[in-house]
Chain A
């Protein structure tokens, strides 16, 4: 498609529309790209915790080899400013998992997650009231 734009995609879009667009992107794309497009996009990507409430980090194969998923995941959760409710990433090689104040995590969900992570050798659960001794 030709790039014959007269519209102002940086400052002309209502903020909630820009966020609605970002909401449909993989969070790896937001981290890798949105910050560096322009000031307005950067602010939208950084200062809106609701954008990071449900984090999805898949990325394609090309990207996967170039990034540090752990670092990105930390940055994503940091941007959620405590509002992150769900995190989705593909990491069967995960070795360490720490869940702090995750009251939404239940025995059932916890067991399912741990089964998918065969290499896990370090686990911390703090203030996760809904995971009981049975789950562990």
Chain B
């Protein structure tokens, strides 16, 4: 049961961070389908930092470095979407999909090359191990083994709510996703705002990526991507009605179902059902389909999302 709580908190953190990222992008008017790829790039940045930074630097430096590099990597990945979709009016869905594929392919090629060359050809996997560095990130809270990222997530949640609803920047950002022409007419630079929205989503997506690959495992195979988690986060965002606090509740629900897949053997009641592990693997995806089926009908998505801003149509 303790394990269930632990994994729920970890997976909730991942989904919450990434969904908040999606929330910022969509409120500015850009659909970020590429979150999956952005997560992977962030994860790659963080994993490389953990691999190459000596453990002797101590926990605080390690934590800060990993957070910083992951966030920056995600930011860089998100710029691919921002430039194409905002400056060149490209189709946001195609660009996002391309980023997902590009991230997986680039990470695989890069990590494989690194492993192949450093091992002299005996190791051609796309795996990075970070066992010792991961221990620095963990924190014991009574019987729970969590990591510092959970705290980062809570901060991100509070900050997101505050920025979106209590600051001039956030309200302007949301105006650009609802009615960009009106926003432009009162002197808001729609292009800049959309860049800001996408770049924030890149930072949060990158952080989500590193949290995901350090949740309970000591190494990651980059050719597997992040197993649809970026898309699950988008489902969480839709279920959470594009509102940070509701997104947090939605993330918790999905987090529980995802965590069940990791720990069901330890729970007597579930183990006695003797369901195959496949059922638990499928569970988060099935639940999200069902939830979306019931909640999408009345969804209030930002009105102008997905439509490139055309100044001449004002």
The finding on whether chains A and B are genuine partners in a shared complex, rather than unrelated, reads no
